[in-house]
Structure 1
Amino acid sequence: MSEKVTFWFDATCPFCWITSRWMKQVEQVRDVEVHWVPMSLGVLNEGREELSDDYKEHIKAAWGPARVATKVALEAPERLDDFYTAIGTKLHNEGQGGRHGFGAYDDVIAQTLDELDLNPAIAEVANTEDVDKQMREFHQQAMDAVGNDVGTPVLKLGDAAFFGPVLTRIPKGEEAGKLFDASVTLGNYPHFFELKRSRTENPQFDA
């Protein structure tokens, strides 16, 4: 019987991208079924006035991809995995991420939809609030599963959910499988809550 994994993502987050590519590796070596669900760094950081002005502008840019991911989830959920892979590759592996301000990723969104032969009209939600209600509902599912004071990604492994794991490199092959096995074991221990240390390197997408 396959292990069910729910993976909440914001496409603009580099750490989330690393974790998602780990899960794509896990799919090759373990019997897992991944259900991809949008969440939003914009929603996550609402009202946080302590953030730097630079990061606030970065968060503004994240609204568009999250809204479009939500629209894809609503209209073509079977293509959400493809959408995340395509736009994530552009933002992270191809260096088109890290932009600032509302609408910053409009061109990348349009290219991604065209590449996947998805309805180009989906892009129209990027700079509107048309799907914000549904996006917030998806996001709240993650918060309900794991609690507050977390970031992206949120994973639910079986009955247990947690923030992360936060990785800076993508485990490959059987190493990816072993890390997944350990995550399931630790995550499903009912009295486990947190394991953390300071990062010493930035995400390396091809390492």
Structure 2
Amino acid sequence: MSAMRQQNVTVADTWVDPRCPWAWITTNWLLEVERLRSVELRFHIMSLSVLNEGREVPEKYRRGMIEGWAPVRVCIAAEQDHGPAALRALYIAMATRIHDEEGGLGRDMMLGALADARLPAGLIEAAEDTDYDKALRVSHHAGMDPVGAEVGTPVIHVPGPGGEVVAFFGPVLSPAPRGEAAARLWDGVLAVAGTDGFFELKRNRNRDPIFD
């Protein structure tokens, strides 16, 4: 990449939990944007289990909160041992298996994702290791604190017009737009998110997650 192109690249940091279907759809949009715009997408881990600690949630969701610790611990271990590129590959592999292939959150999914990402199978040992929780919480709060507690994933941080960090939740999509539609949405999101005093643009969801 030329020095001029590097100067014009927008770094988009996104915080995701592999078990969130909406984050996976947004990720597919962001990957399309990365292909069409001068954008460098960097992945970080947040945790829906951390986010919802102490909250009253339906019993079905409570089970997901318990099972959801293991995949994000493995993601944190992969990042610590092998770097950001490994985290990117592992998140994409996990989300593909969880959502596109309905692979669940268990050991088989994690071992398969590690193999897909060409990472050591031994990283699976992090799944039950609470020693990773401190780093997980640090990563979680780095992404989530700038947008507040009443949002979920994905969260995106981008440079604002004055160089400041602009953080926002979303966009929530179903399905992910492709081609020029994806690029136009990115341009619009940057314009909205970078406007001083802008807080919310929302409407009710009328469809389930659509993966493509």
The interval holding the TM-score normalised by the smaller chain is over 0.9
Find the aligned partners of 1:45 and 1:144 in 2 and give their Cα distance.
14
**Structure 2: which 5+ residue stretches go unaligned?**
1-7, 160-164
Aligned residue among 169, 176, 180 for 2:182: 176
Find the aligned partners of 2:191 and 2:52 in 1 and give their Cα distance.
31
Find the aligned partners of 1:8 and 1:173 in 2 and give their Cα distance.
23
**Residue 123 of structure 2 corresponds to which residue in structure 1?**
122
**Residue 143 of structure 1 corresponds to which residue in structure 2?**
144
Instruction: Give the superposition deviation at 1:115.
Output: 2.5
**Residue 84 of structure 1 corresponds to which residue in structure 2?**
91
**Residue 172 of structure 2 corresponds to which residue in structure 1?**
166
**Residue 192 of structure 1 corresponds to which residue in structure 2?**
198
- Which amino acid in 2 is paired with 1:15? W
Find the aligned partners of 2:144 and 2:94 in 1 and give their Cα distance.
24
**Residue 101 of structure 1 corresponds to which residue in structure 2?**
none
Instruction: Give the superposition deviation at 1:161.
Output: 0.6
Residues 28 and 173 in structure 1, CA contact (< 8 A), matched pair in contact too: no
**Residue 106 of structure 1 corresponds to which residue in structure 2?**
107
**Residue 18 of structure 2 corresponds to which residue in structure 1?**
11
TM-score for the superposition, normalised by structure 2:
0.91
Partner-residue secondary structure (3-state), 1:54? helix
The reply on whether 1:22 has 2:23 as its aligned counterpart is: no
Find the aligned partners of 2:157 and 2:116 in 1 and give their Cα distance.
30
Residues 22 and 176 in structure 1, CA contact (< 8 A), matched pair in contact too: yes
Identity over the aligned pairs, expressed in percent?
39
Find the aligned partners of 1:115 and 1:23 in 2 and give their Cα distance.
21
**Residue 2 of structure 1 corresponds to which residue in structure 2?**
9
**What is the aligned-residue RMSD (CA, Å)?**
1.1
Partner-residue secondary structure (3-state), 2:13? strand
Find the aligned partners of 2:37 and 2:108 in 1 and give their Cα distance.
36
Residues 7 and 35 in structure 1, CA contact (< 8 A), matched pair in contact too: yes
Aligned residue among 46, 65, 83 for 1:59: 65
Segments of 4+ moved more than 6 angstroms: none
Find the aligned partners of 2:125 and 2:57 in 1 and give their Cα distance.
28
Find the aligned partners of 1:192 and 1:72 in 2 and give their Cα distance.
36
Partner-residue secondary structure (3-state), 2:127? helix
